[in-house]
Structure 1
Amino acid sequence: MLTVDFGKLHVGPGVRVLDLGCGAGRHAFEVLRRGAEVVAFDQDAAELEGVASMFAAMDKAGEVPPEATAETVTGDALAMPFPDASFDRVIAAEVLEHIPDDMTAMREIHRVLKPGGQAAITVPSFLPERICWALSEAYHTAPGGHVRIYTLAELTAKLKSTGFSVGPHHHAHGLHSPYWWIKCAVGVNDDDHPLAKAYHELLVWDIMKRPALTRAAEAVLNPLIGKSVVVYVRKPA
């Protein structure tokens, strides 16, 4: 399940990409499939072991173009172990809402991005996230959880103040917001609740099959209740 639109963030052979806070690696895997050089970066070393294993499995299955490369690096988003201007592209998907000092993280993204380079920044959308916070305290008070709710205006203003030129934006995962509202209402850790379980099965079916009906429904829902907002920015040359 991709949040970033790779029609708006071009990656391919010869392009070096940082997937900041890569988590399980969903965007890093797509970057690798497209033939780019990807660095999957996260502070969770155990999670990165799984990402590295998937990189190896993709290579074994013949899913990796000959020119593509992949590596994993453990570290802190507030002090990344990369020289200035190291990357052509940076992806920071659902990361900044977890970081108390988000401005330092933005400055680090700006620092490691090459002049003229592009970044895709995604965070939870204001309205769906606000409803989650209202329904469940546990949703946003768990260790490592979300520490803020961004408005689009706040996010773009912070990115501009960091030195980025802000480009287009869009919303994604409109079908996923109701699932999280259900989870927050019945208990965020209650994966076996019948309603939450049924909706989760629907989402898995949609991700695997991508039927026209749900694709059309999500296209309608995204601008209204899309779970994530994606902003594309560029570091001036």
Structure 2
Amino acid sequence: MTLDDLKERFTSEARVTWERIQESTAYNQLKDRYDNMTPGMQKLSIIGVSALVALIILSIPYGYYSTSQDYVTDFEGKRMTIRELLKVTRESSDVPQIPQAPPISSLQGIVDSQIQSAHLLPEQIKGTQTVSNNSKLIPSNLTEGMLEVSLAKLNLHQILDMGHRLQSINPSVKLKDMVMSANREDSRYFDVVFKLVALAVPAPPEVAPPEPPSKGSRKKIQNEDE
């Protein structure tokens, strides 16, 4: 079928459809109303109908455009979510492994050595003892124990130095509290109580060593080499 035949067929079908519309009751009623209108109203009707037809024609590409914009917005949202997930995955893989805290008995010996290395006087050292965990911030099942260090007649420099020493013992040993009060005998110095908590860090999983190859596999490898 040639292009001329298609054009002729479309023209004939359009003519038949237009004749059917002209023969309909609704068309005749509208035509009668249009003929009874004033010239101004007829112009307004033509403008309104033209605008309605143009709006219907333009609504088709606008619908496709609106749908495509929704697809683009959905794609950008999913892409941003995937980027955030990849970022979180990379950050979680870069988190360093936290070592386990030393036992409380060993931690007490480490604290005593730190006090001795600070060159404090015997009268400034009140003692170190283990205490129960009554903190609401850190549950008891997440700690290995708590240690209380009591010192007296310290100046500000000594307080800062001891706090830094105790905080730097182990990444899993945290300085939970520090209670400081003026010394009763000499208000120029302070009595300080440090509370250290050892966190219960789980041990890293043990990696099983690779199994040695069996004798049969060794013979097979040797035969292949030969």
Shorter-chain TM-score: what band?
A: under 0.3
1 or 2, which has the higher strand percentage?
Answer: 1
1 or 2, which has the higher helix percentage?
Answer: 2
Give TM-score, length-normalised by structure 2: 0.22
Give TM-score, length-normalised by structure 1: 0.21
RCO comparison, higher one (Cα < 8 Å, 6+): 1
